[in-house]
């Protein structure tokens, strides 16, 4: 874990190194992914079968390609009542939050008599990638699938790997609850290729969302333009801005909530109290000793964790913006005062009783968020990621008479005489 003091002479350089540290995979996976994509594009289901046998160690012809809706419903019905109720609560809150994101169509007539506007429509089909195996998260399925359905997507396709042919029943239950139309037992870069170009069994989609490993992320990067994507996500990250009035055990748990995801995750504490910083560091060590995911969390904390002493919590705001983190917690009595100073964060968690984990499951806002400083220019997943906007305009002869001469002048100036003629010919008939 890195300890920094914002008043130290070397702080600027040390903090810049922290900001610029590359935590995303250094493996050169681009060539391998390109080969996988090409194979699926050219060979379709045969390539999916071969890659699934190689990477997930089962034969799709034997275990089954498709998971029926009845099986998803059965998995949901078989859940323990408390877990089923938790999933239902999460789904209802996620749906309610995202329903408020639906954009309204726009239409108006301006002073020149031109009718202008924009019409929003959902894409025809969307694909959601859900990791399998160790990283099988039903919450992620809900966060990706529900906004798509709220947007009005008619065909929602879920792809998920099933290592050794084993299906995660929680993922199936979430697929049922979210209203997935298809569930396929394929994963990896090959699943992204199937969604982008289609195969004999799996019809292509228009948008692909969902997290995955470095190969999945690279596959999404390479198919962008063939399909839309949500984002290229990297390792999770959290910034916590906290004063000494907090319980150190709470803050330590918040930091570890991201560290346990993966060895490349980043957890950073900003505080204005040196003694509190020491207490949190001690609490982290104490919790790591008994945490079931402690092996992963310890590597992440020791390699990428940081505790930074600042002269004031207000000073942490500019430092946060340099990091542009996926998550930021502001654990103070008046978190809004600091939140109003922030410019860049994927999602903010305000107050002492709002741990980031609540946002991962049941709060409502989406937990699919920009990482790797991308919060400077990107937002979390939302309804409009599954929609597109079509602008429109309508002129009558009078309106064309007002706007046409300027159009002709500009078209001629740009050396586009056919553009000019298409307007001038109409003006001549007036």
**Cβ distance 347 to 326 under 8 Å?**
yes
**Cβ distance 270 to 313 under 8 Å?**
yes
Measured CA to CA, the distance from residue 240 to residue 222 in angstroms comes to: 34
Angle at 137 between CA 133 and CA 141, to 5 degrees: 120
Token pair in block for residue 41: 């594009």
Out of 326, 344, 356, 367, the active site residue is: 326
Residue whose pair of structure tokens reads 């060590």 in the numeric block: 285
**Cβ distance 186 to 195 under 8 Å?**
no
Helix axes 30-43, 45-55, angle to 10 degrees: 140
Would you call 58 a catalytic residue per the annotation?
no
Measured CA to CA, the distance from residue 47 to residue 41 in angstroms comes to: 9
* Ramachandran assignment for 351, one of left (phi > 0), alpha (psi -120 to 50 degrees), beta (any other): left
Out of 261, 327, 344, 367, the active site residue is: 327
Would you call 367 a catalytic residue per the annotation?
no
Token pair in block for residue 108: 């108006």
- Annotated catalytic residues are 326-327
């Amino acid at each position: 874990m890195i300890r920094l003091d914002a008043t130290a002479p070397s702080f600027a350089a040390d903090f810049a190194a922290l900001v610029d540290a590359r935590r995303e995979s250094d493996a050169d996976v681009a060539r391998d992914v390109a080969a996988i994509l090409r194979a699926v594009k050219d060979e379709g289901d045969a390539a999916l079968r071969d890659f699934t046998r190689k990477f997930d160690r089962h034969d799709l012809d034997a275990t089954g390609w498709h998971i029926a809706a009845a099986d998803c419903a059965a998995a949901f019905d078989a859940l323990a009542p408390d877990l089923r109720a938790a999933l239902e609560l999460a789904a209802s809150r996620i749906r309610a939050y995202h329903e408020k994101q639906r954009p309204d169509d726009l239409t108006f007539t301006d002073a020149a008599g031109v009718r202008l506007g924009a019409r929003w429509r959902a894409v025809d089909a969307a694909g959601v990638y859900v990791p399998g195996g160790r990283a099988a998260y039903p919450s992620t399925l809900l966060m990706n699938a529900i906004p798509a359905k709220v947007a009005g997507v008619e065909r929602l396709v879920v792809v998920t790997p099933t290592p050794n042919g084993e299906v995660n029943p929680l993922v199936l239950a979430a697929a049922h609850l979210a209203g997935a139309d298809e569930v396929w037992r394929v994963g990896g870069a090959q699943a992204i290729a199937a969604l982008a170009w289609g195969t004999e069994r799996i019809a292509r989609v228009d948008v692909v969302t969902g997290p995955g490993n470095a190969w999945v992320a690279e596959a999404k990067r390479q198919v962008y333009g063939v399909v839309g994507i949500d984002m290229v996500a990297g390792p999770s990250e959290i910034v916590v801005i906290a004063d000494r009035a907090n319980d150190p055990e709470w803050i330590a748990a918040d930091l570890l909530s991201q560290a346990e995801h993966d060895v490349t995750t980043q957890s950073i504490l900003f505080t204005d109290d040196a003694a509190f910083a020491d207490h949190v560091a001690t609490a982290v060590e104490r919790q790591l000793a008994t945490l079931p995911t402690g092996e992963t969390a310890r590597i992440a904390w020791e390699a990428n964790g940081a505790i930074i002493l600042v002269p004031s919590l207000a000073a942490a705001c500019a430092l946060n913006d340099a990091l542009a983190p996926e998550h930021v917690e502001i654990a103070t009595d008046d978190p809004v005062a600091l939140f109003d100073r922030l410019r860049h964060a994927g999602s903010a968690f305000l107050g002492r009783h709002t741990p980031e984990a609540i946002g991962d499951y049941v709060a409502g806002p989406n937990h699919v968020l920009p990482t790797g400083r991308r919060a400077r220019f990107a937002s979390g997943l939302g309804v409009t990621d599954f929609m597109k906007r079509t602008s429109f305009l309508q002129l009558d002869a009078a309106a064309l008479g007002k706007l046409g001469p300027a159009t002709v002048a500009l078209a001629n100036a740009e050396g586009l005489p056919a553009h000019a003629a298409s307007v001038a010919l109409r003006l001549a008939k007036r």
